[in-house]
Structures are given as C-alpha cells and as structure tokens.
Structure 1
Amino acid sequence: MGIDYGRKKVGLAMSTEGMATPLSVLKYEDQDKLLIELEKVVDREKVERVVIGVSEGQMARESLDFAKMVEEKLQLVVDVEDETLTSRDAQRLSIEAGIKRKKRRNMEDAYSAALMLQKYLDNLA
C-alpha cells in the first residue's frame, strides 16, 4: 500500500501485479484516529508492506516520523520513497484524463500515492 502523507489527509493506493492504483483519501484530525482507519484498510486489503512518500523540507521529517509510527503501531514493513513532484504530476494526469475538478480535488492525494507507489515498484523491477 502506498501512502501520501499530509497534515490533514492521506492518500492511499494499492498495487496488484506490479500496477499501482488510487484507493481513497482519509481525512483526519489526530494521528491516533488515522492509525485506527489505516488499520481497517490494512486488514481489509490484506496489506503486508507500506510505502510512504517523503518530500523535501519540514514535511520530510514529519513523513519519516509517521513512517516509524506506522511500522511500530501496525507491525508492518514500511519503506519510504521520494514523492517530489507527485502532487503536480497527479494533478496534470487527472486533468488530461478529463476527471472533473471536484473529484480531482477529492482524490488528488490518492493519485499522488499511486504515482509514488508505482515509482517504488518500478525501481524494484
């Protein structure tokens, strides 16, 4: 599962046979509630490994702290992947695909998670 971590919401993506697809966006107010929701997704989707996107600057530190927390609390293997420019690329691709603005705004973080997860999967190959 790929996670695009943000301060108010996270984008989720899943991979099947080496292909990443957007799953959903979770909005949250505190990290304990976020972890509860993530655990539900992990159980439902039978997730074994999580890849968390890390950008530059202050968010990099927060993303790394979040990755450590997910690893400890959910007892999962957690890897990190550079997510620089994935938000911009996700927006561009969704515009090109003709996705309406409202749906695009609601799912943009999930598309970013899918791009980041696909990059991770491609690097494994």
Structure 2
Amino acid sequence: MTTHHSDHPQTPRLRVLLGEVTAMGPGKAMLLEAIREKGSISAAARSVGMSYRRAWDLVETMNQSFREPMVETAKGGSGGGGAQVTEFGERVLARYREMEARATAAIRAELDAFSEFLADSARPD
C-alpha cells in the first residue's frame, strides 16, 4: 500500500536568530523540555541523544541570547548538581512552541502540496 504524500506532511523548523546565532530553535526547545523533565543537563542530553558538551553549549548560547537566564544550574556536591528551566525560560519556550504551531498551521496547505515534490524515500513513515 502506498501512502499519499499529505498523509505525512513535512514540518517546518522555526529558528529565531540573534545576528548569526540561533537564539531558539527546535533542538534548543527539545533540550529545554528534557532539562525540565530530567533535572540535569547531562541526563537531558542523554535522553535526546546529544553529547553533554553540545547540550552545555546550547544552554550557554540561550543564556547569553536572552535578557534573563533560560536555565539555572547548581554545582555538584553531596546532593549532586542539577539544572532547571527558569520561569523566564518556561515563558520563552511556551511562546516559541506557540509560534511554531501557528507557523505550521498557516502553511499547512502549502506543506501538503510541497510534499508532492518529494521522493517516496524522503517521506517519513
């Protein structure tokens, strides 16, 4: 059975740039959600298949790109370290996800039509 291209429409990837730096994008949003869930950058990185170094770099970029920190960290010790998404970070993440949903909804018909140009192997199953 062959599926029609619009059965699996492509999803746009929204990136918010600050100069040449991506202040927020899909990877950073996914990492923030994982930090919220796991309570640490290392556990969040593992859960999304990212190296700790890459995750730390993304957190640093976010913290430098916004007016307030997106993630706060605690140094390790007897209780261990950890990280949490700040209240400000939660607000930014929610706004980003809303923008992403609106952008996708706004171009849904065009995405469906565009998927007709894609090879069958390029379509997600």
TM-score w.r.t. the length of structure 2 is 0.29
Q: Which has the higher strand share?
A: 1
Larger Rg: 2
